[in-house]
């Protein structure tokens, strides 16, 4: 028996060696065009004996080597099946940072079933030929899934199953995804590889529409608008409009513009791209950044009035400055150095960013501008169609206060609410200031103390407003008096001028009479 076994191994060894030798000869001596034919017919021959079809889905695709959407969807689709069926699993920290998420490890295979048909998914890895072997995982390792199925089911798999996997995977991905807060890097930090135009952190802002202090009707109107937008894919396609919407949030500092953006992102489950316009070199770079944003996202430009010289009015002073600089070479050189670092994004570049051809790629995006001074903005930038909805965030109303009292102190009513209500009708206070007063300053701080603090602040604000009004009144009176004085002086001089020739003539006549 032992001899027979040994004999069999020896024969197998020599057959393998023979085949390898024949393969090497084939590679070396058969011309390349003939090799193509041989390989084609070998595959065909194999097809008779191997009735399975394989489909590969690679992780990185396209010229820019972006992560393939299909790969991500399959990864999500297989994640739940992997934990039940795979034998070699990979663990990573989950979305909530508390639990572990399991997925199939490299070169592992799991079986799936669809309408009674069996299929096999494998996660493969390959190292580029140019790279030498290393024990450490490299960023250049290529990953791809392979789906294997019997050729009898080709139609069902390619026409139904793949779409099903994509849809399911996207839904799982959406449920499990960690939302991200992106910010743009300066182009000098793009490190040649185009992946790093945006860098991100996990988005974890707790603001919601429930915690947002504002008029309930206005709040509901915004929520309805967002819901209509989210469900509007078909509608936007029907009317021939890109699936995006512009919001302009304006109002004094501390009235909740940033908080509202966070609430919107949490409500819609979108990522946020916080675009720092001053770090964008020019319009081309702005377009590149836009292309790299994903759908289901909010692109935010905060304090748009401070971001760049985007207003038409300021152009004149700029031209005047330039004339003066031309005369002074030192000033001119300093300006050139500064301007090489400065952003050259123009108003027209920004308008194109909002609603040019490129803005339609990806779809399902909100573009939000915030400003404290809406009147400073160029009307073209905020006209309807670009900024579809203008939302004014204003000083805290009593309704807003009640939301904050519930959030911060868990109070629905209190005997001090009446006084606060009448004070709020008489004076202006931002939600940020109200929130600051409602926060207990010590561990033992109770609700009553916080409300008393707020009343004190409101009274102080009222007194300040009164003093300011008195001051303004005095200033007005003084300036009015000065105006009257100047006017009467001017009138007096004019009278003098008007009367003097006549008087001269009178004098002349009296002399003549004499
Ligand atoms: N409407 C609001 N509802 C709940 N909290 C608010 C509201 N407005 C302001 N706050 C509180 O005040 C803080 C500052 O608000 P926020 O940064 O949203 O104001 P902003 O209008 O964006 O200010 P700025 O114009 O200076 O950027 C927030 O952290 C939040 O706690």
* Interface predicted TM-score (ipTM) of this complex, two decimals: 0.97
Name the residue with higher pLDDT: 84 or 157: 157
Q: Are residues 354 and 279 in the same domain?
A: yes
Which of 206, 258, 372, 397 for mutating ligand 1's site (highest number of atoms within 8 Å of CB)? 258
Which of 205, 210, 218, 255 for mutating ligand 1's site (highest number of atoms within 8 Å of CB)? 255
Q: Are residues 111 and 155 in the same domain?
A: yes
Q: What is the DSSP letter of 151?
A: G
Tokens found for residue 57: 């889905």
Tokens found for residue 460: 């102080």
Task: Give how far Cα 412 sits from Cα of 55, 83, 207, 403, 416, Å.
Answer: 60, 46, 20, 9, 12
- Ligand 1 atom closest to Cα of 259? 18
Range of the domain at 55: 24-128+139-177
pLDDT score of 492 more than 80: no
pLDDT score of 227 more than 90: yes
214 CA to middle of ligand 1, Å? 11
Q: Are residues 282 and 186 in the same domain?
A: yes
Task: Write the residue with the smallest CA distance to atom 30 of ligand 1.
Answer: 432
430 CA to middle of ligand 1, Å? 8
Classify the C-alpha dihedral 95-97-100-103 as positive or negative.
positive
In a domain, 198, yes or no: yes
239 CA to middle of ligand 1, Å? 36
- Ligand 1 atom closest to Cα of 212? 3
Task: Write the residue with the smallest CA distance to atom 11 of ligand 1.
Answer: 432
Please give the share of the chain, as a percent, with pLDDT higher than 70. Answer: 81
Is the Cβ–Cβ distance between 459 and 420 less than 8 Å? no
Q: Are residues 450 and 366 in the same domain?
A: no
Q: What is the mean pLDDT of residues 204-208?
A: 92
Report the alpha-carbon distance of residue 74 to residue 172 in Å, rounded: 10
245-259, 338-352, 358-372 — most confident range = 245-259
Which of 212, 254, 395, 400 for mutating ligand 1's site (highest number of atoms within 8 Å of CB)? 254
Q: What 3-state DSSP class applies to 391?
A: strand
Task: Write the residue with the smallest CA distance to atom 16 of ligand 1.
Answer: 256
Residue 165: half-sphere exposure toward Cβ, Cα within 13 Å = 27
Task: Write the residue with the smallest CA distance to atom 12 of ligand 1.
Answer: 432
Report the alpha-carbon distance of residue 237 to residue 363 in Å, rounded: 10
Report the alpha-carbon distance of residue 338 to residue 340 in Å, rounded: 5
361 CA to middle of ligand 1, Å? 32
CATH of the domain at 286: 3.40.50.300
In a domain, 402, yes or no: no
Q: Are residues 46 and 102 in the same domain?
A: yes
Report the alpha-carbon distance of residue 14 to residue 453 in Å, rounded: 93
Is the Cβ–Cβ distance between 264 and 168 less than 8 Å? no
Task: Flag the least confident range among 218-222, 372-376, 390-394.
Answer: 372-376
Tokens found for residue 411: 């109070």
**In the chain, what is the straight-line distance between the N-terminal and C-terminal CA atoms, in Å?**
166
In a domain, 17, yes or no: no
Q: Are residues 101 and 214 in the same domain?
A: no
Q: What is the mean pLDDT of residues 243-259?
A: 94
Grade residue 195 by pLDDT with cuts at 50, 70 and 90.
low
In a domain, 501, yes or no: no
403 CA to middle of ligand 1, Å? 14
Instruction: Count the domains in the chain.
Output: 3
Q: Are residues 172 and 208 in the same domain?
A: no
The binding-site residues of ligand 1, defined as CB within 6 angstroms of any ligand atom, are 212-214, 253-259, 372, 431-432, 435
Q: Are residues 382 and 415 in the same domain?
A: no
Greatest pairwise CA separation for the chain in angstroms: 166
233 CA to middle of ligand 1, Å? 31
Q: Are residues 227 and 303 in the same domain?
A: yes
Q: What 3-state DSSP class applies to 104?
A: strand
Q: What is the DSSP letter of 132?
A: P
In a domain, 492, yes or no: no
Which of these three, 324, 358, 392, is where a domain ends? 392
In a domain, 321, yes or no: no
Q: Are residues 456 and 354 in the same domain?
A: no
In a domain, 204, yes or no: yes
Grade residue 121 by pLDDT with cuts at 50, 70 and 90.
very high
Q: Are residues 290 and 371 in the same domain?
A: yes
In a domain, 34, yes or no: yes
Q: Are residues 271 and 347 in the same domain?
A: yes
Which of 209, 212, 256 for mutating ligand 1's site (highest number of atoms within 8 Å of CB)? 256
Grade residue 313 by pLDDT with cuts at 50, 70 and 90.
very low
250 CA to middle of ligand 1, Å? 12
What is the number of other CB atoms lying within 10 angstroms of the CB of residue 470? 10
Report the alpha-carbon distance of residue 420 to residue 52 in Å, rounded: 76
Report the alpha-carbon distance of residue 354 to residue 338 in Å, rounded: 28
Is the Cβ–Cβ distance between 255 and 432 less than 8 Å? yes
- Ligand 1 atom closest to Cα of 214? 1
Name the residue with higher pLDDT: 307 or 76: 76
- Ligand 1 atom closest to Cα of 404? 4
Task: Write the residue with the smallest CA distance to atom 13 of ligand 1.
Answer: 432
497 CA to middle of ligand 1, Å? 62
Which of these three, 392, 426, 460, is where a domain ends? 392
pLDDT for position 430: 94
């Amino acid at each position: 028996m032992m001899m027979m076994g040994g004999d069999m191994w020896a024969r197998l060894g020599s057959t393998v060696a023979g085949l390898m030798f024949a393969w090497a000869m084939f590679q070396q001596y058969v011309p390349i065009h003939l090799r193509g034919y041989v390989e084609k017919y070998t595959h065909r021959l194999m097809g008779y004996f191997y009735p399975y079809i394989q489909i590969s889905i690679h992780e990185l695709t396209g010229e820019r080597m972006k992560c393939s959407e299909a790969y991500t969807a399959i990864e999500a689709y297989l994640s739940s099946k992997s934990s039940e069926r795979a034998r070699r699993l990979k663990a990573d920290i989950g979305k909530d940072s508390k639990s572990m998420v399991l997925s199939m490890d490299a070169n592992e295979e799991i079986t799936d079933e669809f309408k009674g048909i069996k299929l096999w998914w494998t996660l493969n890895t390959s190292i580029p030929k140019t790279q030498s072997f290393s024990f450490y995982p490299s960023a250049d390792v290529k990953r791809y899934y392979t789906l294997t199925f019997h050729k009898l089911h080709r139609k069902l798999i390619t026409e139904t199953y793949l779409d099903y996997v994509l849809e399911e995977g996207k839904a799982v991905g959406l449920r499990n995804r960690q939302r991200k807060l992106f910010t743009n890097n300066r182009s000098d930090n793009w490190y040649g590889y185009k992946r790093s135009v945006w860098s991100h952190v996990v988005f974890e802002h707790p603001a919601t529409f429930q915690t947002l202090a504002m008029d309930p009707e206005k709040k509901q109107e915004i929520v309805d608008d967002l819901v209509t937008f989210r469900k509007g894919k078909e509608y936007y396609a029907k009317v021939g409009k890109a699936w995006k919407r512009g919001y302009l949030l304006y109002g004094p500092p501390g009235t909740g513009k940033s908080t509202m953006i966070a609430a919107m992102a949490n409500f819609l489950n979108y990522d946020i791209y916080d675009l720092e316009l001053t770090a964008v070199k020019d319009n081309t770079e702005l377009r590149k950044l836009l292309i790299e944003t994903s759908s289901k996202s909010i692109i935010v430009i905060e304090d748009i009035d401070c971001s760049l010289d985007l207003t038409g009015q300021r152009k004149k002073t700029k031209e005047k400055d330039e004339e003066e600089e031309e005369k002074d070479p030192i000033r001119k050189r300093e300006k050139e150095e500064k301007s090489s670092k400065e952003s050259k994004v123009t108003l027209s570049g920004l308008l194109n960013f909002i609603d040019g051809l490129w803005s339609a790629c990806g779809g399902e995006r909100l573009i939000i501008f915030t400003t404290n001074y809406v009147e400073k903005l160029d009307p073209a930038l905020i006209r309807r169609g670009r900024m579809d909805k203008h939302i004014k965030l204003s000083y805290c109303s009593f309704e807003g206060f009640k939301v904050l009292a519930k959030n911060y102190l868990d109070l629905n009513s209190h005997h001090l609410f009446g006084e606060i209500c009448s004070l709020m009708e008489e004076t202006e206070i931002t939600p940020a200031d109200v929130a600051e007063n409602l926060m207990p300053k010590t561990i033992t701080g109770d609700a009553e103390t916080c409300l008393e603090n707020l009343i004190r602040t409101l009274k102080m604000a009222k007194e300040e407003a009164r003093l300011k009004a008195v001051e303004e009144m005095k200033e007005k009176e003084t300036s009015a008096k000065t105006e009257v004085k100047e006017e009467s002086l001017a009138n007096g001089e004019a009278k003098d001028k008007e009367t003097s020739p006549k008087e001269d003539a009178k004098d002349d006549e009296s002399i003549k009479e004499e």
